[in-house]
Structure formats: structure tokens, C-alpha cells
Amino acid sequence: MKLSRTVENMIGSEILKISGEAKERILRGESIYNLTVGDFNPEIFPIPEKLSERIIHYYKEHRTNYPAANGELNLRNSLAELFLKDTGINYDPEEIIIGAGGRPLLYSVFESILDAGDGVIYPVPSWNNEHYCILTNAKSFIIETKAEDHFMPSAEDMRPFLKEANIIALNSPLNPSGTIITKEALTEICEMVLEENHRRGKNAKPLFLVYDQIYSYLIHGDQEHYTPISIFPEMKEYTVIIDGISKWLAGTGVRVGWALGPKPLMAKIKTFLGHVGAWAAKPEQLAVADFLHDKEFGIYLNEFNKRINSRLDGFYDVFSNLKKEGYPVDVIAPQAAIYLTVKLDLIGAKKEDGSKLNTVEEVFGYILNEAKIALVPFYAFGASKSLPWFRLSIGTTRSEDIKIINDQLKSALDKLSYS
């Protein structure tokens, strides 16, 4: 069937494909540890009880008609207060848009800024930038990042593409690596964006920094999260911040996200979202507005972070110890989010039947079959097919799972010959 070039060029999510394979095997009765999806098992990590109570309250009050096109004012006011408290930067409610999670907001930002052929600079591995470029017929300028830089890009990486770009897309804390961009690196990128916009002048389309910080409150230990406009307040004119409750309130299915940005752009996004109807449901919006003012908000975040970090530390110890024992694995110390970056350097290793593991895809299959562990290769996030790094997500694991996973992984590695 002949369809549009845009959808003909689209491909499905490689992450969901990999996760789907693990889920199918679980449904067939296999005991698989599915560490693939950036989601939570709600039996282990439920949303805050008070948030759940407020959602139900507003449904019982029949607050089920259309929400405001740019989001309920209660919530936008609450978010402005929260952002002022966190960063010292004041946002007018008209500079805030609410959507059904971060995903439609990110897409609407791309649609509202880009014309066909406009450039987008983004690093890989990263989440979904490739697909948004396809949907908007934009030109991709891809930065291949390195493990030694914690898979974060630098200003110098981006500088050659600046003149052709209208968006730099950054995500910190980063999905898939769970790492944070340093203050120094973000400062240099912001300086570069300001310089480029000064060069372009007021009559040209700006270069925007689209800054996805959906994991902003899930910070490990004494690590620090940075926001562009808290480093340079003048970046407010050129920055769109994406955030929401999907991750730091375990509300992936509750679908409340927001974008903060310059008022002229937010007005156009409001119109765009109105045409596609990608609003968050009104009861959920009102409930989130209430919960952000509740004393339980800080208590929940503190406890939630402790539980996430204990699992990240547990898996970090697993891979660190395997590395010390001489196994061809590596790991980056956890910094944020619900992810650990692990390396399974198994290409060339021989299985018991004498055949070799020749590709990262075969390594993934071996670990799934022999260790009963599903991970996501970084190639699912746009990185090179030969990169032997994987994302490990802790959102579906119980603390007692970690030792079992360690034993099964070690057993699988012991079956390989590395000479």
C-alpha cells in the first residue's frame, strides 16, 4: 500500500522490539529478568499514594471535561513555583505547556521549530531523536559519544554543524547511560548557543537548546543535575526544558509532562497540541498540582531515590566484581536515572558448541538465552552496531533479584572460551 514518505521512512522502536522479545518469552513461561524497559513495575514502585488519592478524588468530582489547551493553571502555577525554588529562575504560567507526558511535547517542539531540511544536532546513544527528525523531515547531525566522556557530547563536537542547525537536543540525566552532563560541558554548550544566536541576529531563526531533563530528580549520591538557564539566565530565550512525572513519580502511565520555554514558541506549541489533542487528562493535572504542594512530595522523592540507588549500587557491585575477577565486562558508576551502563565485551568469545559470538546482537541473544537476562544494546539508541555497551534498567527488579542475576550471568560467562 502506497503511503506517505514520512511514515514509509519510519521504523519501530528497537527498544520496544527487544523488550517485546523478553516479554513474549516470559508469557511462554520462561523465567526472564527483563531489565530492558525504562518503566516501573507498579507493584514494586507504585506512584505516591496521595497522588493516587487525588486523581481518584477529581474523577469522583467529575472534573472530566477538556483541560485548558496549555494545561490547567493550577498545575502551571505549581510548576513555576517549583522551578523558581529549584533554579532561582522565574517562569510565567504562559511560558509553560502541559502535555500527555514528555513525548508529545518533544515532538511538538520539533514541529514548531523546524522546517524540512533544518538541522538537529544530537548525540548517540540517545532516545528518539532519530525518529523525531524523520517525522519532521529534518537533517540529523549525529555526534558519536564515548564511554570515557560518560556518553556526553561537548561543544567542540557540535561546533562544525552549528550554522546548519536550529535545534541542539540534549538529555541529562541521559537515557540510556544514566549519566549527567558536567557543569563545565553544559556551560561551554550554552556559551556556544548564545554566541551563535548573537551572530544570527534577531531576524533569523534561532538555534534552540531542547533540554530533556525527565530524570531531573533521580540523582545518585552527591551528583548534581544542571539546567542551562540556571547557568546562564539569558539562555531562557533559547531553551526548551522538558520534564514530567513519568520517571520521578513512577508515573509512566499517568501521562503528565511539561515544557518550559520562550512565550512565542509556547504559544505555537499550545496551538499545535490543540490540533492533535495530546493533553494530559484534567484529573491527573489537578492531582499533580496538589501533590507538588504536599509535604509528602519531598518524602516520597527521598525514599524513592534511596530504593533506586540501592539497586543501582547493587548491580554496579555485580559488574565491578566480575571485572575484578577477570571477566570481559565493565561498568560506569551510577550517576542518575534508573539506568546502569554495562559493557559485555564478548565478541569473539566461543560458545560451548564451538561457534563464536560475532556481533553485539548475538551477545544480546546469548545473555538472554543462557543467563535469562534481557538488556538493551546501545545500538537501539542510535549508536554503532559494534559498540558493546548495554543499558540495564532497574525499574522492574526487587533487591533480592540482584544476587540471582549475578549468579546466572556469571554462569553464562563461565561457559564461554575467551582464548
Of 102, 77, 32, 147, nearest in space to 405 by CA: 32
Mean pLDDT of the chain, nearest integer: 94
- Mean pLDDT score, 201-230: 95
Q: Say whether pLDDT at 234 is over 80.
A: yes
Q: Which domain holds residue 379?
A: 5-45+299-414
Same domain as 35, residue 58: no
Domain co-membership, 405 together with 313:
yes
Whether residue 356 lies inside any domain: the answer is: yes
Whether 419 is in a domain gets the answer no
Residue ending a domain, choose from 260, 295, 330: 295
Q: How far apart are CA 364 and CA 139, in angstroms?
A: 31
Q: State which of 263, 295, 327 marks the end of a domain.
A: 295
Of 276, 295, 314, which residue constitutes the final position of a domain?
295
Residue 240 lies in a domain: yes
Length of the chain: 419
Tell me what pLDDT residue 15 has.
76
Grid cell digits, residue 366: 546469548
Q: What pLDDT is stored for residue 285 in this prediction?
A: 98
Mean per-residue pLDDT, 208-233: 96
pLDDT at residue 312 above 90?
yes
What is the CATH classification number for the domain harbouring 205?
3.40.640.10
Q: Give mean pLDDT, residues 129-155.
A: 94
Q: How confident is the model at residue 23 (pLDDT cuts 50, 70, 90)?
A: confident
Q: Is the pLDDT of residue 321 over 90?
A: yes
Give the tens place of pLDDT for each residue, 82-129: 999 999 999 999 999 999 999 999 999 999 999 999 999 999 999 989
What is the per-residue pLDDT across 147-198, written as a single tens digit (0 to 9) for each? Answer: 999 999 999 999 999 999 999 999 999 999 999 999 999 999 999 999 999 9
Of 77, 108, 74, 103, whose CA–CA distance to 91 is shortest? 77
Beta bridge partners, 239, equal 209
Mean pLDDT within 341-349: 94
Distances (CA, A) of 20 to 105, 135, 292: 25, 24, 34
Tell me the pLDDT band of 18, cut-offs 50, 70 and 90.
confident
What pLDDT score does 250 carry?
96
- Quick check: 267 pLDDT over 80? yes
- Determine the pLDDT at residue 22: 77
- In the prediction, which pLDDT does 354 show? 86
- Tens digits of residue pLDDT in 379-397: 999 999 999 999 999 999 9
135 and 35 within one domain: no
Residue 238: pLDDT band (50, 70, 90) is very high
User: pLDDT confidence of 223, banded at 50, 70, 90?
Assistant: very high
Q: Are 181 and 203 part of one and the same domain?
A: yes
Confidence (pLDDT) at 47: 97
pLDDT in tens, 41-51: 999 999 999 99
The pLDDT assigned to 104 comes to 93
Residue 210: which of 92, 90, 152, 129 has the closest Cα? 129
Residues 260 and 402 in one domain: no
* Contact partners, residue 160, CB within 8 Å, separation at least 6: none
* Residue 114, all three cell numbers: 523546524
Please give the share of the chain, as a percent, with pLDDT higher than 90: 88
For residue 32, the model assigns a pLDDT of: 87
* 51-66: average pLDDT: 97
